[in-house]
Homo-oligomer: A and B are copies of this chain.
Amino acid sequence: MAREPAKTLRDHFAYRFGEAPPAHDPSGDDGTLSYLARRRTHRKYSERPVPPALIETLAAAALCAPTKSDLQQRDIVIVRNPSLRDGIDALFPEDKWIAAAPAFLVFCGNNRRQRQLHEWRRRPFANDHLDAFFNAAVDAAIVLGTFIIAAERAGLGCCAISAVRDHASRISDLLGLPDHVFPVAGLTLGWPAGEGTVALRLPLAVTVHEDRFSEAGLRRRIDAYDLRRADLQPYARQRHTEEYGTTTPYGWSEDKARQYSKPQRADFGAFVRSKGFRLD
């Protein structure tokens, strides 16, 4: 990282978001806001193991997060078995993150339990449409985000592995996920080795709207963000140079447009349908 973030909450936000960080510094803050402002993703971990009981405690804490209508449509799979870990890791030959991490979890949406309740209580299930998938996915995502915060506050480092969606069917088989249960994301976990990365974010004027959605100044702000990225955290390599050549500056917008110019997870919908979901 080219520049170290400074010390006040406002400084952390200024580094993260660039222009116009919020000015408020709540007197009652217990450290959560400045933790969030400076939090980092960690992909490298020390050899020190993470106690199983700590992982279970973090899972419990995460499951205290809100859940849509009290439906609790999310589960956590803690993957401990080394050969199972290796089997999942082998799906990602380019990244050896999963086998190398002290701990690995998979956060799942679970709409199966709800359907079981209907069977047991003999009530018809009248909501076999997109909602069934969407609500479970959102519940799982909230628990994932909460787990990350609990873990980081306990001194651990994490990296969410959304690439599990690239091999959802195979991972589902390995974990024995039944119909209407699907992986939303994995998570590697360990005691951090190294600095980690403060992910720079789009200016708040782009992502926070008042009353009505606004795109005022959008392109100008993204151009400025691209330049900040290229300056402070230059990309190590450009994507798909064989087709697109090299671009200068190579910013966020160019990187993301190149990334999604190639099909990814085109079979994810087929997987979700194969799990019994209708997406009408």
A265 to B146: give the CA distance in the assembly, Å. Answer: 27
Are B268 and A131 touching (Cβ within 8 A)? yes
Contact (A211, B145) CB under 8 Å given A126-B262, A265-B131: no
Are A125 and B260 touching (Cβ within 8 A)? yes
Shortest beta-carbon distance from A267 to chain B in Å: 9
Contact (A31, B30) CB under 8 Å given A126-B263, A142-B145, A269-B129: yes
The residue on B at minimum CB distance from A17 is B60
Shortest beta-carbon distance from A161 to chain B in Å: 10
Are B204 and A56 touching (Cβ within 8 A)? yes
Let me know if A47 is at the binding interface, CB within 8 A: no
Which residues of A from 107 to 132 have beta carbons under 8 Å from B?
Answer: 108, 110, 113-114, 116-118, 120-121, 123-127, 129-131
Count of chain A residues near B, Cβ 8 A: 131
**Of B130, B214, B264, which is within 8 A of A269 by CB?**
B130
Are A76 and B263 touching (Cβ within 8 A)? no
Mask: chain A, 142-156; 1 = CB below 8 Å from B; 0 = not: 111110111001110
A238 to B260: give the CA distance in the assembly, Å. Answer: 48
The residue on B at minimum CB distance from A76 is B208
A227 to B252: give the CA distance in the assembly, Å. Answer: 53
Contact (A265, B129) CB under 8 Å given A137-B141, A148-B66, A212-B176: yes
The residue on B at minimum CB distance from A263 is B126
Are A117 and B59 touching (Cβ within 8 A)? no
**Of B71, B117, B142, B206, which is within 8 A of A141 by CB?**
B142
A25 to B79: give the CA distance in the assembly, Å. Answer: 22
B-binding residues in A (CB < 8 A): 9, 13, 16-17, 21-26, 28-33, 36-37, 39, 41, 51, 53-54, 56-72, 74-81, 84, 108, 110, 113-114, 116-118, 120-121, 123-127, 129-131, 134-135, 137-146, 148-150, 153-155, 160, 162, 165, 175-178, 181, 184-185, 199, 201-202, 204, 206-215, 218-219, 222, 244, 252-254, 256-266, 268-269, 272, 279-280
